[in-house]
Amino acid sequence: MANIRVGVIGVGRGMGFAAGAGYVGMELVALCDTWEEKLLEAGKRYDVATYTDYDKFLEHDMDAVILANYFHQHAPFAIEALEAGKHVMSETSACKTPGEGAALARAVEKSGKIYMFAENYAFFTYNQEMRRLYRAGEIGEIQYAEGEYNHPGTSEFKNRLSPGLNHWRNHLPPTYYCTHAMSPIMYVTDTRPVSINALSIPQSEQDTERLHVKTGDFGFVAICRMDNGSVARLMGLTLRGEGIWYRFHGSRGLMENLRTGDRSSLRIVHEEWDRREGDVGEKIYAPDFPVHADLARRAGHGGGDFFTNYFFAEAIRKNEQPYLDVYRGLEMTLVGIQGWRSCLENGAPFEIPDFRREEVRKRYENDDWSPFPEDRRPGQPWPSIKGKVEPSPEAVAYARQIWEEMGHQGL
């Protein structure tokens, strides 16, 4: 089969997808971004067409589009690409609001095109191995799972990640960045969340790293009821203590990646009174990728960046929706949105709607609840449980100094 011609929107994060396209039989043919200087540099590096206009970009002769633009802007771009007859792979999150999510599910169904949610943490070595083990019955039926994605950083780091006072990262409720914690749980156990209770953790007044303009809270803890009755705990986001960790308690065993030492190693535990032939009390080993290990090891995000491209290309070739399809992508995204509603109600339960069902979509199709600055009006939420948070003048001055060094031209 001929190469899949693909275009990438976003020459920041999108360069990871662009660099790996050729490894899976995709041919990069076009790039799109509004940051023209960086766009032209990337276009010259890859010798491909460049566009600052998304509509013109979609007119380029290509089969698929990879969306690596701003976190909260994916759904409208995805819908337009689907309507233009392109397959779509979208970075997280899938939508900004439940209303956008309902529209996206309908657009995928109407188009008949492939849609993949590019959640790369599901494809770490140990998560792929735990999926294999779970499907083989290693720990029985899932009863309780934990997913943690905690990634702290300095004020300089935060400012470089979020150039501009209105950059999405500066107005993001912590629950919204939940997919790295949730996706391995869904991928390993093949369960889906049906409700959520969540609590938010604001930045401490004693925190010494305060020269940033982030207005959202720093952490969250959430409890999700899954559709088989099990419970999943999610935790993140920028609290002290770096950690990416997943644990699964089943009806006949435990498995997790290690918290210390080689964190990509896997630990399996069976109680003495519950062992079957071949079981051991504790086993620790470093798994490898199931396929294309050499290519995956060279990719970013623990190999996950290779496998998002790989499974997207495979889905297009087979004309079959991938495991991380639009519905699972929306569920992970809605965990964040509904989780923030729960935080603002001090942990009250909220449903995670199933957008496979049109009657459910109808209930949410006009829901435009959003914490982002462009949607600010009475009735819309702030990204902190403290309400409106104003960065200090010193923080704003320092942030602008960093942005000027980066060549960012915005506010």
pLDDT in tens, the chain (411 residues): 578 999 999 999 999 999 999 999 999 999 999 989 999 999 999 999 999 999 999 999 999 999 999 999 999 999 999 999 999 999 989 999 999 999 999 999 999 999 999 999 999 999 999 999 999 999 999 999 999 999 999 999 999 999 999 999 999 999 999 999 999 999 999 999 999 999 999 999 999 999 999 999 999 999 999 999 999 999 999 999 999 999 999 999 999 999 999 999 999 999 999 999 999 999 999 999 999 999 999 888 989 999 999 999 999 999 999 999 999 999 999 999 999 999 999 999 999 999 999 999 999 999 999 999 999 999 999 999 999 999 999 999 999 999 999 888 666
SS3 for 384?
coil
352 CB-near residues (< 8 Å, 6+ apart): 192, 193, 194, 195, 196, 224, 331, 334, 335, 338
Per-residue confidence (pLDDT) for residue 1, from 0 to 100: 52
Residue 32 CA to residue 52 CA, distance in Å, equals: 6
Per-residue confidence (pLDDT) for residue 408, from 0 to 100: 80
Domain 4-120 has CATH 3.30.110.30: no
Q: Which residues pair with 27 in a beta bridge?
A: 5
E strand or H helix at 157? helix 155-161
Tell me the domain boundaries of the chain. 4-120, 126-294+325-375
- CATH architecture designation of domain 126-294+325-375: 2-Layer Sandwich (3.30)
Report field, pTM of the whole predicted structure over 0.95:
yes
Strand order across the beta sheet in which 142-150 lies: 282-285, 266-269, 253-257, 243-250, 142-150, 231-237, 219-226, 193-201, 350-351
Residue 404 CA to residue 176 CA, distance in Å, equals: 28
| CA trace torsion 83, 84, 85, 90 (10° rounding) | -70
